[in-house]
Amino acid sequence: MSRSFECFYFKACQFDAKQGLITLEYALDDEHVFCEEIQFPNPPAQLPAKRLQAIERLLPLLHFIAGISYYKAAVPPRIAIETALPDPETAAFLHNLYWQGLGEFAWQNGLDLKARLQFPAQTQDLAPAVFAGEKQALQRRSLLPVGGGKDSIVSLETLRASGESLTQISVGNPHIIRQVERSSGLPYIVVQRRISPLLLKLNAQGALNGHVPISAILASILAIAAVLYDYDRIVMSNERSANVGNFRQGALDVNHQYSKSLDFEQQMQQQLARRVAGLHYFSLLRPLSELDIARRFATMPSIQQYDSVFSSCNRNHRLHNKSNHPGNWCLDCPKCRFVFLALAPFMPQARLLKIFTKNMLDDPAQQDGFDALIGVGQHKPFECVGEVEESQVAFYLLSQQADWQQSYLVKRFRAEILPGLNNLETLLETALRPAQAHQLPEDYWDLIS
């Protein structure tokens, strides 16, 4: 796709309550019109009027956020909105989300988006939130998004142990997610998102492409799901390392995980509260480091049932999976390396090798990949992995364990890297102590502190 475009249009959005179907329309100039569909299974036969009103209040927010997937195909200099204009606070929220959420995409494509992004806004504020003043509008129960990896499993089993009323939910249902959902024995909901085929066609023709803040899009879908199915809490599994960017570029902290960060979580909660009172969006694991989550995964007895089915490898979520490895892990990506490294200090070696089928730390070909995790010669990978210091601490712990000391990369770390590092004992203590920056309701803090 060689030509440039002048305008990106938000054209229309609608919700069919009987079918549980949302349609979102966008366009690049008058040439390319995109239609996305989001299908919610088994919608209520009779949706109460107030909950329908709440969904209608959330729908424009979903329309604006999901548009980021189509806007990035050409990043035209003008944005036009043919539906109701956002209020000034929402327009500012969208500007920040597109700027920070597309930070990695903009860096990789050599773009400066901050000045280009101009969301039109109306002058008046939003009407009062639906359910405002009502004591308990939505049922006190939780929707837990499941991605198939260790983090959401730790959340699931922590909430289950507390007696929380919860249902699993996913947007899409690749086999890893299906396996985890079924292994848990808990009820689950599968929402289907059908991206416009035209976008995929334009991508194949050379449209601008790259990372989008997918967790922000999922958050807006989950908010509608919560109201549709009558849940008052959306419990995410985003940890504190998501707050730390990959590197700084000018005024922007380029963060692959921006839409998993506390900053986004707080802004999203504010946007939801302005539309639907009593609807809560937060992450149970926000105070925890990736290393602490790995420790909990490795040591909670109820989690061993997931060993053969879970995976954090993104290969399982790609439309075109080119890996030839038959298991749940490709064994050659930053996610596989980090999860192996984070689990190793806390899990019996035999159990870990059964999960991964090989010792990744005894493979010299993996050295550059593990060096990126510990900050040797390059920035942290553009993946959802822990902080550099957490990886350093994990290697340090392994260097003290006899059954790991002879693995090639552990031996090399002990000889070449460890002498140049300081305060690892202090970093270890910090990594395994919950932080205070979070949005947890008070009763949830007790579950993970």
pLDDT at position 326 over 60: no
Average pLDDT, the chain: 92
Res. 317 pLDDT band, cuts 50 70 90: low
How far, in Å, CA of 217 to CA of 133, rounded? 28
> Tokens 């008070």 sit at which residue?
442
Instruction: Give the residue ranges of DSSP H helices in 302-348.
Output: 334-343
Q: What is the pLDDT of residues 222-269, one digit of tens each?
A: 999 999 999 999 999 999 888 776 777 766 777 788 999 999 999 999
pLDDT at position 303 over 60: yes
- Write the CB contacts of 372 (distance below 8 Å, at least 6 apart in sequence): 334, 378, 379, 380, 381
- State residue 136's pLDDT score: 78
Res. 314 pLDDT band, cuts 50 70 90: confident
Q: What is the mean pLDDT of residues 354-380?
A: 91
Q: What is the mean pLDDT of residues 11-22?
A: 98
Res. 318 pLDDT band, cuts 50 70 90: low
Residue that wins the pLDDT comparison between 156 and 379: 156
Relative to beta strand 142-145, strand 233-236 is parallel
How far, in Å, CA of 157 to CA of 180, rounded? 12
Q: What is the mean pLDDT of residues 336-361?
A: 96
Residue that wins the pLDDT comparison between 1 and 174: 174
Q: What is the mean pLDDT of residues 283-297?
A: 95
How far, in Å, CA of 129 to CA of 238, rounded? 27
The amino acid at 223: A
- State residue 324's pLDDT score: 45
pTM (global) more than 0.75? yes
How far, in Å, CA of 331 to CA of 297, rounded? 19
Q: What is the mean pLDDT of residues 417-445?
A: 89
CA-to-CA dists, residue 313 to 103, 121, 170, 296, 310, angstroms: 23, 40, 17, 19, 9
Res. 3 pLDDT band, cuts 50 70 90: low
- State residue 216's pLDDT score: 97
